[in-house]
Amino acid sequence: MASCGGSSDKPQNTSSAKPKSMIKDEPKADPKGIGEVKNVTLTDPLEESMIASGKAIYEMKCAACHKLTDQRVVGPGWAGVTNKRRPEWVMNMITNVDVMLEEDPVAQKLLEECLTRMPNQAVSIGDARSILEFMRKNDVDQVGKKDEAAK
């Protein structure tokens, strides 16, 4: 009588070698993301006028989906973001969200977790820099440190 798992006198393949993928290895994610922003000069101390501008933009365009804590609502919470992501990545996510969600592996993973695409808010590079400064201030307030990912 034959069965699917039948026994055989032949030794089982015990090789620990992994099979080669049928597709090319995916390129590593660029820690700066994909977009126009290639380098960001961070201020120290924080720039108060940018923080105020960033806060106003956050309240108008971001607060409905993002909390300042680590709590996820529609999108992920912002606490600690500058310690996890480079400033260029943050600004590219804000200004180039459609391409980031299509091509950046980190952004794609966040989309899988949150299940809702971040809408393109047509944020300028200057406004994105103000939002980033507000995020840096928020990280100091929420977790006691900022810019760990930029080091």
**pLDDT per residue rounded down to tens, the chain (151 residues):** 455 555 555 555 555 555 554 445 556 789 999 999 999 999 999 999 999 999 999 999 999 999 999 999 999 999 999 999 999 999 999 999 999 999 999 999 999 999 999 999 999 999 999 999 999 999 999 999 999 999 9
Q: State which amino acid sits at residue 137.
A: K
Contact 123, 94 (CB under 8 A): yes
How confident is the model at residue 63, as a pLDDT? 98
Query: Quick check: bond before 11 cis, omega within 30?
Result: no
How confident is the model at residue 87, as a pLDDT? 99
Of 141, 138, 142, the closest CA to residue 62 belongs to 138
Q: Let me know if domain 48-150 sits in CATH 1.10.760.10.
A: yes
How confident is the model at residue 21, as a pLDDT? 46
How confident is the model at residue 10, as a pLDDT? 52
Of 124, 142, 35, the closest CA to residue 84 belongs to 142
